[in-house]
């Protein structure tokens, strides 16, 4: 069974540019999550999808961040325009439905904004 | 949100030594997971353990949900055990992470 995959593994962009991160969850996992770790701080929750619906987006820092999940499969996280403080590692995770809460993480995308 | 505290923040071990990492959390949880972050930054699932005790090779974990803490035991440590160990909890979905324990195992 393939794990959670993320693309790209590393992205370097200039301040003001746009970047789109992609996450493919484990097949059959209804729940998809985005987290990020910035500047050596703790890993923080961004948002949670159940299938194609946003269940909880309380961790999204501001309206420069837009997440989508097309057809309940893969998800994208767009940052537009990127700021220096957006630099960090963005993790995606997925979990099954039905009361099984274990989350499996992807390898992360390291975003550097210069 | 749920507060998670991990201790100690740093741990230096000689190869072959045993150690215990602790995770305290501030509220009832449905999910508690231990992760190992490898040198490439990947979060590797170690245990899904909202309660009880589990063992996997040289690693074992115990969660006492009623007292809101979990322990991760590393026995006969190896250099490959080096890295950051994270505890994360949720009630029920979004995980709150601790700051991690950085383990360095010296040969």
- Three-point CA angle B28, B31, B34, nearest 5°: 115
Residue A103 has pLDDT above 70, yes or no: yes
Instruction: Give A54's Cβ-side CA count (13 Å radius).
Output: 13
Which residues from chain B sit within 8 angstroms of residue A60, using beta carbons?
A: none
pLDDT above 70: residue B79: yes
Task: For B92, name the nearest residue in chain A, comparing CA atoms only.
Answer: A101
DSSP notation for B24-60: EESS--SEEEEEEE-TT--EEEEEE-SSEEEEETTEE
Average pLDDT over residues B85-106: 95
Q: Which of B43, B84, B98 to mutate to test the interface with A (most CBs of A within 10 A)?
A: B43
- Cβ-contact B100, B6 below 8 angstroms: yes
Q: What is the CATH number of domain B4-106?
A: 2.60.40.10
Among A39, A43, A112, A102, CA closest to A82: A112
Query: Which residue in the set B35, B92, B100 is minimally distant from A101, CB to CB?
Result: B92
Tally of domains in chain A? 1
**pLDDT above 80 for A40:** no
Asked if the Cβ–Cβ distance from B41 to A107 is below 8 Å, we say yes
Summarize pLDDT for B8-63 with one digit per residue, the tens. Answer: 999 999 999 999 999 999 999 989 999 999 888 899 999 999 999 999 999 999 99
Burial of A1 (0-12, 13-18, 19+ CB in 10 A): exposed
Closest B-chain CA to A94 = B93
Q: Which of B31, B43, B97 sits opposite A102 (nearest CB)?
A: B31
Rounded CA-CA distance B92/B30 in Å is 5
pLDDT tens, position by position, A3-15:
999 999 999 999 9
pLDDT for the residue A6: 98
Model confidence at A98: pLDDT above 70: no
The residue range of the domain holding A34 is 5-98+106-113
User: Of A45, A58, A89, which has the smallest distance from its Cβ to B95's Cβ?
Assistant: A45
CB of B28 within 8 Å of any CB in chain A? no
pLDDT recorded at residue A99: 67
Out of B40, B41, B45, whose CB is closest to A104?
B45
The pLDDT mean for chain A works out to 94
């Amino acid at each position: 069974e393939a794990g959670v995959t993320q693309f790209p593994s590393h992205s370097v962009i200039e301040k003001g540019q746009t970047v789109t991160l992609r996450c493919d969850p484990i097949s059959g996992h209804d729940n998809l999550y985005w987290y990020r770790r910035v500047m050596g701080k703790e890993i923080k929750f961004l948002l949670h999808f159940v299938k194609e619906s946003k269940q909880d987006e309380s961790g999204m820092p501001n309206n420069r961040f837009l997440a989508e999940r097309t057809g309940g499969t893969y998800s994208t996280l767009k940052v537009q325009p990127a700021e220096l403080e957006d630099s960090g590692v963005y993790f995606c995770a997925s979990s099954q439905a039905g009361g099984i809460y274990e989350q499996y993480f992807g390898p992360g995308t390291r975003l550097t904004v210069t | 949100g749920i507060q998670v505290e991990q201790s100690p923040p740093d741990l230096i071990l000689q190869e072959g030594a045993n150690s215990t990492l602790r995770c305290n959390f501030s509220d009832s949880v449905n999910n508690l997971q231990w992760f190992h972050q490898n040198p490439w930054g990947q979060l590797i699932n170690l245990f899904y353990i909202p309660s009880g005790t589990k063992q996997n090779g040289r690693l074992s974990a115990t969660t006492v949900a009623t007292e809101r803490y979990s322990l991760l035991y590393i026995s006969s440590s190896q250099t490959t055990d080096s890295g950051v160990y994270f505890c994360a909890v949720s009630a029920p979905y979004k995980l709150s992470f601790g700051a991690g324990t950085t383990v360095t195992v010296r040969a």
